[in-house]
Structure formats: C-alpha cells, structure tokens
Amino acid sequence: MVMVRNNGLTLVLLLLFGASIIGQWIAGWHVQVEDAHRHGEQALSLSAYSFSPEFLSSVFENWESEFLQMSAYVVLTAFLVQRGSAESKDPDGPPRDADLDLQASKPGAPKILRWGPIWRALYAQSLGLALAALFVISFVIHWSQSARVAAQDAIAHGEQPLTTIAYLGDPQLWFESSQNWQSEFLSTAVLVLLSIFLRQRESPESKAVAAPHSQTGE
C-alpha cells in the first residue's frame, strides 16, 4: 500500500491512459470495419488493425503533440516568466541552479553531477532533451504511418503515391500535426493565466488558496 500511495499519481494516470487508448483502439477498429463495408472491402481484424497505419498514425499524431508541448513548456519556463502564475518561477527570486559545482556535493544530489562538467551540463538539460527526443520519435512514426495511409488512398484511387520523404511536404501531414499543436499550446497558456487568479486546493499546480494573486510560483 505504501508503494501505491507513493506512486498514486503515476498509477492513476497510467490507468487513464490505458483505458483511453483501449477505447481509441476499439472505436477506431469499428470505424474501419464500417468504412470497409461501405466500400465493399475486406475489413481488418482487431489484431491486424492494431498494427495498421491508420491506428498507428492516429496514436502517434497525439503523442507527438503532447511531447512537443511538454518539451517546449519545460524549456520555455526556464527562461520566461509569467508574474503571478503558479506555473512560473519567481522573476524576483534568486537562480535555483546557479552553482551546480557546489550543489553537486550536497547530500542526496544525483551522482551524475559529480562525473564532470560535461555530464553535469547534459544532466542539467536532461528533462527537456528527453521530452524533445520523444517528440521527434513520435513525429517520425506519425509521419511514416500517415504517409502509408496516404499511399494506400492514392493507390485505391489509381493515383501515384508519394514517397515517404515527399510526403513530408504534403499539407495533410502538417494539417494533422498543427491541429493538435495549436490546442496543446492554447491549453498550456490558459493554465498559466488561470493559475494567477484561480486555485485548486492542495494541488502543486496551484498556488495556496489564500496566496495573493501577485505571488509567482507556488
């Protein structure tokens, strides 16, 4: 029970993720079956649909936008501030990571900080780099699978399909991506601004309920 208590947030989020992607998987398969029947084509089995470009493209299209939003947010909040927001560092506060050489010797500090300046510099940017890498991986998979969908559609209409590289310049790919990117950036901006004036009791994403609107950060 201690493990559940200490990791409850991650566990619940993973359960919500699992339920959501299973719902997407099953609903998407039913859509594919109905579409195949309308066109007099052979529908895919549920297992075959799991590896179809239609399903993979839709999954990684969403993951791509999430990792882009998170990586951009992590990096931007290191340099930019929003006065009064719980999501921002205090523009009047001292730098938190000003002297990593000194902080590396503190009890409990990650061992990698003592491996030398290169490792220390990499670790200091590791969260943003990891999220950016996940964005790139998700984008590449979305791009390649969306290209497969477009190629199948072109062949079905007797047209010459684009190569995967050529599809990188196709408006359809960027329509799929940008429609998700814009919503991610909007929702993040809304959170940053609403956290100035609104509160969520006991949430680390909110200032204390009685904190003044002018207070920046938690």
User: According to the model, what pLDDT value does residue 39 have?
Assistant: 81
Please tell me the total count of domains within the chain: 2
Q: For residues 9 and 113, state if they share a domain.
A: no
Q: For residues 99 and 10, state if they share a domain.
A: no
pLDDT, tens only, 135-162 = 999 999 999 999 999 999 999 888 999 9
Q: For residues 187 and 81, state if they share a domain.
A: yes
Cα 198 to Cα 210: distance, rounded to the nearest angstrom: 10
Q: Which of 30, 51, 72 is the last residue of a domain?
A: 51
- DSSP state string for 83-113: TT-TTS--TTSPPTTS-HHHHTTSTT--GGG
User: According to the model, what pLDDT value does residue 97 have?
Assistant: 80
Question: Do residues 33 and 43 lie in contact, with contact meaning Cβ atoms separated by under 8 Å?
Answer: yes
Question: Do residues 139 and 119 lie in contact, with contact meaning Cβ atoms separated by under 8 Å?
Answer: no
User: According to the model, what pLDDT value does residue 173 have?
Assistant: 96
The domain in which residue 186 lies consists of: 60-218
Cα 67 to Cα 184: distance, rounded to the nearest angstrom: 10
- List the alpha helices (DSSP H) in the chain: 2-6, 8-38, 46-50, 53-79, 100-103, 117-124, 126-156, 164-167, 171-197
Question: What residues of the chain score a pLDDT lower than 70?
Answer: 218
Q: For residues 194 and 141, state if they share a domain.
A: yes
Q: Which of 34, 51, 68 is the last residue of a domain?
A: 51
pTM confidence score: 0.91
Q: For residues 100 and 138, state if they share a domain.
A: yes
User: According to the model, what pLDDT value does residue 162 have?
Assistant: 94
User: According to the model, what pLDDT value does residue 175 have?
Assistant: 96
User: According to the model, what pLDDT value does residue 49 have?
Assistant: 95
User: According to the model, what pLDDT value does residue 218 have?
Assistant: 66
